[in-house]
Chains A and B, each alone.
Chain A
Amino acid sequence: GAVVSQHPSRVICKSGTSVKIECRSLDFQATTMFWYRQFPKQSLMLMATSNEGSKATYEQGVEKDKFLINHASLTLSTLTVTSAHPEDSSFYICSASRQGANEQYFGPGTRLTVT
C-alpha cells in the first residue's frame, strides 16, 4: 500500500504559459499532501503543505500566486505553475500522509522544463 502517482512525469512548456501537475494517492486517503522542489544534487525543498478542503500553507519565499495548489479531494492535489519562466524549470515532487500518520509517501516526480 501507500502508492502515490504524479502526472505528467515530464513536461516542456513555453515561457509565459501555465502547467498543471497532478498528485494522486492511489490506495489510501491523504488528508495532507506536500509539494517539494528539487534542484540537481540537492535535497528536497518544501514549497507548501495542503490539507484537504483547506487553503495551502506556503513556505517562506514561495509565491502563492505563482504556484497554485488545490487539494480538492482526499486522493488528489494539483500544483499549477502560472506564467512559467525558465527559472521555474525543476523537478517537482509531491508526497502524501494519512490522517494521524507521520511518514510521507512520495510520488515519482515531474520534471518541468520551461523554454
Chain B
Amino acid sequence: QKEVEQDPGPLSVPEGAIVSLNCTYSNSAFQYFMWYRQYSRKGPELLMYTYSSGNKEDGRFTAQVDKSSKYISLFIRDSQPSDSATYLCAMTLKAAGNKLTFGGGTRVLVKP
C-alpha cells in the first residue's frame, strides 16, 4: 500500500463545474499538506499549503484537511479550461527534513 493514494483520473468536467480532488494517507504523523498543479512538461506549481484540520480558501481554490480520517481534498470552483492539468497532493513530516511524499497525481480535463 502506498503512503499516499490519489485517483489517477482522468477527471473530466464541463467548464464552470466544481472540480473535487482528494488524497488519502496512511501515516498519521504527516503534519503539512500541499497541493500542486503541473502542466505537461512543466514543473509543479504550489497552489495551497495547510497544516491544520479544516478548510483554507484562496480565490477559486479550497483545501480541506481531515487528520482524523487521514484525508485531504482540493476543490476548484468555476473551473476553466486553463485548469486542465495534473494535480498532485503532497505531504511532509518535520522529522523527514521536509521531504515531500507525493500522491500519484490526478489528471483533470475541463471541457469548454
Q: Which residues of A contact B (CB under 8 A)?
A: 2, 4, 6, 32, 34, 42-44, 46, 49, 57, 91, 93, 95, 97, 101-109, 111
Partner of B100, one of A6, A42, A104: A104
Residues in A neighbouring B99, C-beta threshold 8 A: 34, 46, 49
Residues in B neighbouring A43, C-beta threshold 8 A: 88, 102-105
Partner of A106, one of B31, B32, B45: B45
Q: Which residues of B contact A (CB under 8 A)?
A: 31-32, 34, 36, 41-46, 49, 51, 88, 92, 94, 97-100, 102-105
The binding surface of chain A is classed by DSSP as strand
Nearest chain A residue, comparing its CB with the CB of B94: A102
CB pair A93 B104 closer than 8 Å: no
Task: With both chains docked as a complex, state the minimum distance between the C-beta of A69 and any C-beta of chain B, in angstroms.
Answer: 15
CA distance A20 to B1 in the complex (A): 36
Task: With both chains docked as a complex, state the minimum distance between the C-beta of B98 and any C-beta of chain A, in angstroms.
Answer: 5
Besides A46-B99, A46-B100, A103-B46, 15 new A-B residue pairs in contact (Cβ under 8 A), listed by A number: A4-B43, A6-B43, A32-B97, A43-B104, A43-B105, A97-B98, A102-B32, A102-B92, A102-B98, A104-B34, A104-B46, A105-B46, A106-B44, A108-B42, A109-B43
19 A-B contacts, Cβ less than 8 Å apart? A2-B46, A46-B100, A49-B97, A49-B99, A93-B44, A95-B43, A95-B44, A102-B31, A102-B32, A102-B51, A102-B92, A103-B49, A104-B46, A104-B98, A107-B43, A108-B42, A108-B43, A109-B41, A109-B43
Top 3 nearest A-B pairs (CB, nearest first) are A106-B43, A102-B32, A109-B43
User: Assuming A32-B98, A43-B105, A102-B94, is B43 touching A93 (CB within 8 A)?
Assistant: yes
CB pair B102 A44 closer than 8 Å: yes
CA distance A4 to B43 in the complex (A): 10
Task: With both chains docked as a complex, state the minimum distance between the C-beta of B1 and any C-beta of chain A, in angstroms.
Answer: 16
CA distance A4 to B100 in the complex (A): 17
Partner of B36, one of A34, A49, A106: A106
Partner of A91, one of B31, B41, B97: B41
